[in-house]
């Protein structure tokens, strides 16, 4: 049997993470409602610690925020979620997975080229 205190902590962790991730993503509760299909009033109850989502609700929230479910549950912060959130804050968003993959490849080529130039510059220095 789950102890009531464990459920209370789970709600507190979940509510704090959901709100922080939503705000970091630059979303209002209304934006999250639009993306997830979950009513704003329920999102508010999640964020206030009055309610925990179903598994399906958790999945929809995580997908809408671009984070793994484990991040919302307090099991650490996924580095890809951090990267995606940073891109969104900079105004960079993708409409498809294919678009994201293409841009990630372009960014990787750029970064690898920069590192290569930095390495060459260090080698060329006397």
Q: What is the pTM of this model?
A: 0.56
- Say which CATH number the domain at 40 has: 1.10.260.40
Residue 46 lies in a domain: yes
120 within domain boundaries: no
The residue among 67, 73, 69, 57 whose CA lies nearest residue 87 is 67
Query: Whole-angstrom Cα distance, residue 12 to residue 73?
Result: 10
pLDDT per residue, tens digit, the chain (126 aa), is 444 444 456 788 889 899 999 998 889 999 999 999 999 999 999 999 999 999 999 999 999 998 888 888 876 555 666 777 778 878 888 788 788 788 888 888 887 887 677 676 667 766
| Calpha distance 65→114 (Å, rounded) | 31
15 belongs to a structural domain: yes
The whole-angstrom separation of Cα 7 and Cα 90 is 36
In a domain, 20, yes or no: yes
Please name which of 2, 21, 22, 116 lies closest in space to residue 78, comparing C-alpha atoms: 21
Please name the residue that has the structure tokens 């999102």: 43
Question: Closest by alpha carbon to 19, among 46, 56, 54, 57?
Answer: 46
2 by DSSP, 3-state: which? Answer: coil
Residue ranges making up the domain that contains 43: 4-76
Q: Is residue 40 included in any domain, yes or no?
A: yes
Residue 48 domain-assigned (yes or no): yes
Residue 121 to residues 108, 117, 118, Cα–Cα distance (Å): 20, 6, 5
In this structure, is residue 43 part of a structural domain?
yes
Is the residue at 82 inside a domain? no
Domain count, the chain: 1
The SS3 of residue 74 is: coil
């Amino acid at each position: 049997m789950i102890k009531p205190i464990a459920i209370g902590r789970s709600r507190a962790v979940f509510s704090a993470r959901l709100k922080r991730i939503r705000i970091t993503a630059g979303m209002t509760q209304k934006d999250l409602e639009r993306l997830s299909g979950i009513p704003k009033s329920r999102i508010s109850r999640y964020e206030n610690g009055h309610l925990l989502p179903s598994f399906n609700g958790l999945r929809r929230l995580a997908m809408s925020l671009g984070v793994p479910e484990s991040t919302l549950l307090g099991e650490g912060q996924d580095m890809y979620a951090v990267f995606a959130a940073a891109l969104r804050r900079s105004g960079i968003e993708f409409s498809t997975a294919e678009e994201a993959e293409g841009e990630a490849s372009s960014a990787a080529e750029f970064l690898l080229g920069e590192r290569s130039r930095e390495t060459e510059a260090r080698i060329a220095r006397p």
